[in-house]
Chains A and B, each alone.
Chain A
Amino acid sequence: MKIRLYCLSGHPTLPCNVLKFKSTTIMLDCGLDMTSTLNFLPLPLVQSPRLSNLPGWSLKDGSVFLDKELKECSGHVFVDSVPEFCLPETELIDLSTVDVILISNYHCMMALPYITEHTGFTGTVYATEPTVQIGRLLMEELVNFIERVPKAQSASLWKNKDVQRLLPSPLKDAVEVTTWRRCYTMQEVNSALSKIQLVGYSQKIELFGAVQVTPLSSGYALGSSNWIIQSHYEKVSYVSGSSLLTTHPQPMDQASLKNSDVLLLTGLTQIPTANPDGMVGEFCSNLALTVRNGGNVLVPCYPSGVIYDLLECLYQYIDSAGLSSIPFYFISPVANSSLEFSQIFAEWLCHNKQSKVYLPEPPFPHAELIQTNKLKHYPSIHGDFSNDFRQPCVVFTGHPSLRCGDVVHFMELWGKSSLNTVIFTEPDFSYLEALAPYQPLAMKCVYCPIDTRLNFIQVSKLLKEVQPLHVVCPEQYTQPPPAQSHRMDLMIDCQPPAMSYRRAEVLALPFKRRYEKIEIMPELADSLVPMEIKPGISLATVSAVLHTKDNKHILQPPPRPTQPTSSKKRKRVSEDVPDCKVLKPLLSGSIPVEQFVQTLEKHGFSDIKVEDTAKGHIVLLQEAETLIQLEEDSTHIICDNDETLRVRLRDLVLKFLQKF
């Protein structure tokens, strides 16, 4: 039986795959590709004259029917509408048949409401507690960012295939625009999250008795997991967003990935040439230089994840850099919850941070930054923030795409001065594309993508360590990045070569299921008498009833031969047990021709001829007009209706064979 993988997402770090394995249908992650939003105009929190006065775009032939939907800014064309997201493929497989969804980290669950609420999905979602809580924050922030700037217009004309052809890049090349969807609502989020069942690392979860799934720490984010999906004889490892760096989460569990038949590898670093340490250094240096010159620093970021590490790094750095008096602002509708959540998930943290809890101290030093008023957090720019706001300052806020959230306001506010700097740390969006609708821009832009996920050197070490039989990965990982086609080191190099997938592809995983585990009941096992037929190999015959229920197979003792009664027929029906026949012994061994011939001669047969054949020998008893065909796995006695002779010969043959 083949195992199939349905690939619903083409984004290597926002995967969504469905695995059909032993009568179960398992969805692995449901990442949401938000890069589609880069095609849209930003949603300003405060009315922006600049954005609202952008000229409409007209076709080359001068027709202007799209000018309401498309606006032009510094040579780029943007859709003037509520941003929309590119969903995982929904047509490739009937998503209502999905039994379970396994989530590996909070970035990889952003499409969950689309799947659970609109496809007829009735299964269960498994995720760790921090994943669910922080995932909820990310969704809440996204919904909030989009809902608080209501936009009446929903552009759809441009999606018409004939129209899209005429548009400039990148709109022209955008894929499956008709399936792009607007953001979900908070109600849908709540409903989706209610379907999640919480799990802990190394917890074994039985799915219908057929397979067992286990989350393992992946070292990338709070509660992030890799998953093992295994039956008794097959093991599939799903590696998604893992990190070997010592940051805040629990370290990656590599040992449990050993002996996999297939390792599905996704979520590697998006910036393989940038070392996170160097980038953090770059981040700090540029931040200090800007602030010292009296400029402000804007850091577009997600409300959880790398920001914890950045704050920790700044905590150690600001005193040495003489920045103690500079205010740090963290603005997000979920800022408060995010900072507090990080402190309570002690069991999901790295050892260092865990041990702090026993002192007792907060695991993350941002608690101290908040206490000393160096770090202040606000739900939005409205309200308290506008009273406290002091410049120069450093602002952490979302959304990293620069298309929605408070960051849009700061871009508009600070973009005109070259004293200010925007520092990009999230690797999910191309910073040049993110900045396109803000051009011309005077503020300095620094790109320090911090991606702690595995790089190719670490992957090659990992693969050497865990030695899977086969590796399956997105096609992007099997060749060097297009911009660095000579960097043969920036791809997965393993033997046998990795099997690659792309969006909307169905893969037959390269191994077949050959075995199934069957249990023997103790009383049946007791009755077995093994016989050693070769040194080290013993055999026993079993007569039993195979009982199969919930994907478990059990051999039970056969019913005792019952005395024939009048009600025999009815009973058989009720017990549903097949009739038990008297067993003939099984034979094994081979027949040495020369000795056999000697034995025949001893028993009075003469005129014996032996002929060699391709498969064995033919012993010809010419006198008796009888043939004995000796082959590797069969012996035939061919004689003309002489049953006594046949029985005699059979008994002679049997003397050479073992019986049990």
Chain B
Amino acid sequence: PRCTFWTLVPAADGHQEWDSNSRLARSRGVAFSYLAVGGKDRRTSVLIMDPECSRLLPALCAVLADPRQPVADDTCLEKLLDWFKTVTETESSLQLLQDHPCLVELLSHVLKPQDVSPRVLSFALRLAGAFAAQEDCFQYLQQGDLLLGLFGEAGALGWSAWSIPSVRSGWIQGLCALAHHPSALHFLADSGAVDTVFSLQGDPSLFVASAASQLLVYILALSMQGRDAGSPIPEVAAWPVCAQKIVSHVQESLHSTAAPQVTQALNVLTTTFGRCRSPWMEVLWGQLSPLVASLLKRDPIPAAHSLVDLLLSVARSPVLSSAACGPWEILAQTLHRLSPTQAGPLALGTLKLQRCPQELRTQAFGILLQPLACILKATAQAPGPPGLLDGTAGGSMTVDTLLSSKSACVGLLCQTLAHLEELQTLPQCPSPWPQEPLLDAAVIILRLCDGSADPSSSGAGRLCGTLAGCIRVQRAALDFLGTLSQGMSPQESMLQVFAILLKNLESPESSPTVLKKAFQATLRWLQSSVKTSGCSDLSPDALLFLGELFPVLQKRLCSPCWEVRDSALEFLTHLSQHWGGQADFREELQSSEVPMLACQLLQDPESYVRASAVAATGQLFSRGLQATPTSSENLQAQQGLLMDLMYILSTDSEGFPRRAVLQVFTQWLRDGHADVARDTEWFVTTVLQAVSRDLDWEVRVQGLELVQVFLTQTLGRFRPRCPYAVTLPEATSPTPHPEFLRTLCRLPLFEFVFRALFDCDRPVAQKACDLLLFLRDETAPSSGPQETRDGPNSASVEVALQRWQEGEQGQPLGDLEPEAMLALLRSLDLEGLQGKLAKSSDHIEKSPQSLLQDMLATVGMLEENEADCY
């Protein structure tokens, strides 16, 4: 085969890497394979079509065309198609076909479909489409009437396999792919494909139906291509035939009484308006908007969801939103007409618009607020400032929804709360924001859920019965309440919020998920109370609340449900992170049993809880908030937290607690925690000894992180850099402090990092590589490789490394002298390794050649397999 277009770019050292590497990769399952001595650049380039692939292609086409061969599974065909698409994106399809006649043969063979399996048919249709996307290739395929044979009425449509959805889907996707140039448009118009697409919009397969609508959008856009420049856009009646046909089909569908047809039409319009910004869309919308508006007069409104999507798509379109026939009036009508549940998403979408008339925004916001206003009204709460209860015309509909059934009520409330929550965090958030009524509403909903609301009306009684114990609403309301903490709230409301939060945290009825949300909301409100009190201290109200919170937290830490213990510990960690330094907080915490209970949970049977307990006690410890010793046993426990964590690190059977310990240790090292700083070398040695044996790669990565912190700190200690020094940065001496190097060699640090470099888990190796690069740059940045090989024991170390690389990790590295260490660092091709590691480990298996080989291997077409056949 010719290699003009798909030349093999050989590796720098001349030999072809694909073969050797892929075999190696298969046999060992490891992608990178060398420790290059000398640091040559051996990067390989990505090959798209190489001679080997060209060689395999005819055999593969033969297999695909042969009905007796078991066809490879769908994923292989998908991958193959993806590969062809990549090839045609960068190369000429025509050339590809001319170079590989087997491809055209395959496509021609498909014309006799009785011989071909449906999945190959579908594949061939899509492949033909991908090739025909280029106009010259399209012409080439047309010459042999191949395209008409495949896509025309005599083609796929007449096959018995047409009844299989994947074939119909392949037909549409093939046409989608080729609809890219004017010739394609003529082809589509002449072949009668558009009518077929119309009928496929109602296909029983949702994938086919949705792809059909998509194709119509393509065709419409293609036929209107190039009509935007200069001259004004004519009316639809003067549009190209194909476009007219589609528009009138959409019009007919909009007139239809069948909801699915209306949905199809609306979906086509939504996609059209969403994807392009050409002026002809204004004409189209001008023609169709009365029809869309007329949908609102029907009862019930058909395809309400699709209508909402369309209107938002129109409103977001810069062309249409500023047009004379803009969408605002119809939007207002729709908001008015839709049911509360349907109107919610439209109202939110409207409020999120960048440009929108203020009046409409007010209407939309009113609709979003309506359900909460109804709740407030039903429970006889003060309705809040005027505006919140405006638009009461639709109010009765909302009340009906809330009272009609449990699912309707819960659905509407959850949707409303989620919408308002989303809205509050956006820059488009309406102003003024009715913070107080919304707070009241959130609180009253939570009280309805826990059954503590005192209903004054029959409606409220019904609501109470509906919402009592409803976990979904509780979670949504707590999320919303948490978001409301961002706004300014009067003290009275804060007290109310703290009370309901406490009730939720305290109630035995709160489910673990509700509790978690309650903890999150509590944290946000405590943070906001700091904000309102003006300084970083907690407000007096918050402090009072804390006094009641700790007994509850105590109880939760003793819960038999591990999720609850876990969330309580996480909450404790956050609390002490934020306020661990404050006297009032410390006093409250230390007078409770919380620190002691957290310590006890280090032995929890559930690993997640142990991990959270490690994080919490680590945090408390670093803040000096550990359990106050009440007995000799506790005293010992307190002194031994470091040892406890060490014990967990070396013995815990689960990964999570061990990871948590390393995170705590790294933080302690970073913060210079007293227990660590007392003997850092001992600390690092002990930790690394435990981590090097760990089976969890995340623990090993975290161990490397700890090494990095240690290196940075030690380096800083031996080379103090004054930020105000006059010397230029480059001028500082690159030679490391001898004591620094001696420190490194004294610890088992290198052994750990080098082992990590050959770790079978890529992230570990990557991290180790980065670390060594950092170390090399810090110690010997400019030395060349040649001068480095004369170290006293570098040879033996190299031998050891070589062995490690080959998988024999038993041999120890041996003692390292600083010079040998430096020499070793320089001799390693760390950049090369970094490049290799950056690729995913399966990059060789992902190569097209490997794909072709695999597909052929499954049918026994490869030579070596043939030899085995007898």
A interface with B by C-beta (< 8 Å): 273-275, 278-282, 284-286, 288-289, 292-293, 313, 316-317, 319-322, 448, 484, 486-490
Contacts and interface: CB of A to CB of B under 8 A. Distances in A.
A545 to B, nearest CB: 59
A587 B685 CA distance: 111
Contact of B560 (A280, A292, A322, A487): A280
Contacts of B597: 292
Given A322-B603, A487-B464, A282 B508 contact: yes
B515 to A, nearest CB: 10
Interface in B484-534: 507-510
Nearest to A321: B558
Interface string B541-564: 000000000000011101111101
B560 A284 contact: yes
Contact of A288 (B558, B561, B564, B604): B558
24 contacts: A274-B508, A274-B509, A278-B508, A280-B560, A281-B508, A281-B560, A284-B559, A285-B555, A285-B560, A286-B555, A286-B558, A289-B554, A292-B593, A292-B596, A292-B597, A313-B560, A317-B560, A320-B562, A320-B606, A448-B508, A486-B464, A487-B464, A487-B465, A488-B464
Nearest to A457: B469
Nearest to B462: A488
B149 interface: no
Contact of A316 (B455, B462, B558, B560): B560
B110 interface: no
B468 A486 contact: no
A281 B565 CA distance: 11
Q: Which 4 A-B pairs have the closest CB atoms?
A: A489-B465, A278-B508, A282-B508, A288-B558
Contacts of B451: 273, 484, 487
A458 to B, nearest CB: 12
A488 B558 contact: no
A550 B603 CA distance: 70
Contacts of B604: 320
- Most chain A CB within a 10 A radius of its CB, from B468, B469, B554, B605: B468
A333 to B, nearest CB: 30
Contacts, number: 77
Given A286-B555, A289-B555, A488-B461, A278 B605 contact: no
Contacts of B74: none
A275 B462 contact: no
A499 to B, nearest CB: 22
A167 B114 CA distance: 99
B460 interface: yes
A273 B461 CA distance: 15
A273 B509 CA distance: 9
Name, among B466, B508, B596, B605, the residue most crowded by chain A CB atoms within 10 Å (CB to CB): B508
Nearest to B552: A285
Contacts of B469: 275
B605 A319 contact: yes
Given A278-B508, A293-B593, A322-B600, 15 more contacts: A273-B509, A274-B508, A274-B509, A281-B559, A282-B508, A284-B558, A284-B559, A289-B555, A292-B596, A313-B560, A320-B606, A486-B460, A486-B464, A487-B461, A488-B465
A496 to B, nearest CB: 20
Contacts of B560: 280-281, 284-285, 313, 316-317, 320-321
B78 interface: no
Contacts of B465: 487-490
A285 B564 CA distance: 11
Contacts of A317: 560
B737 to A, nearest CB: 49
B454 interface: yes
A282 B506 CA distance: 10
A284 B564 CA distance: 13
Contact of B466 (A281, A489, A490): A489
Contacts of A281: 508, 559-561, 564
Contacts of A279: 508
Contacts of B561: 281
A459 to B, nearest CB: 14
B533 to A, nearest CB: 32
Nearest to B460: A486
A487 B558 contact: no
A278 B510 contact: yes
A285, A288, A448, most chain B CB atoms within 10 A: A285
Nearest to B599: A322
Contacts of A489: 464-466, 468
B403 to A, nearest CB: 11
B605 A320 contact: yes
A480 to B, nearest CB: 9
A520 B27 CA distance: 82
B631 to A, nearest CB: 10
Interface in B557-616: 558-562, 564, 593, 596-597, 600, 603-606, 609
B472 to A, nearest CB: 15
A245 to B, nearest CB: 15
Given A281-B560, A281-B564, A284-B558, A486 B508 contact: no
Given A278-B508, A281-B564, A486 B461 contact: yes
A285 B468 contact: no
B454 A486 contact: yes
A148 B566 CA distance: 49
B595 to A, nearest CB: 13
A293 B554 CA distance: 12
A650 B842 CA distance: 102
Contacts of B455: 486
Contacts of A321: 558, 560, 600
Nearest to A284: B560
Contacts of B605: 319-320
A629 B510 CA distance: 80
Interface string B422-466: 000000000000000000000000000001001100001110111
B569 to A, nearest CB: 13
Nearest to B457: A486
Contacts of A320: 560, 562, 604-606, 609
B863 to A, nearest CB: 56
Nearest to B464: A486
Nearest to B565: A320
Contacts of B461: 486-488
A201 B734 CA distance: 88
Contacts of A286: 555, 558
A452 to B, nearest CB: 15
A107 to B, nearest CB: 24
A477 to B, nearest CB: 15
A274 B451 CA distance: 11
Contacts of A284: 558-560
A317 B593 CA distance: 19
A628 to B, nearest CB: 59
A190 to B, nearest CB: 41
A274 B469 CA distance: 10
A274 B455 CA distance: 20
B470 to A, nearest CB: 11
Nearest to B564: A281
Contacts of B564: 281
Given A274-B508, A486-B454, A285 B558 contact: yes
A67 to B, nearest CB: 43
A580 to B, nearest CB: 65
A22 B306 CA distance: 62
Nearest to B455: A486
A20 to B, nearest CB: 37
A298 B420 CA distance: 48
Contacts of A484: 451
A110 B540 CA distance: 57
A289 B550 CA distance: 13
A380 B251 CA distance: 88
B468 A487 contact: yes
A293 B597 CA distance: 11
B747 to A, nearest CB: 37
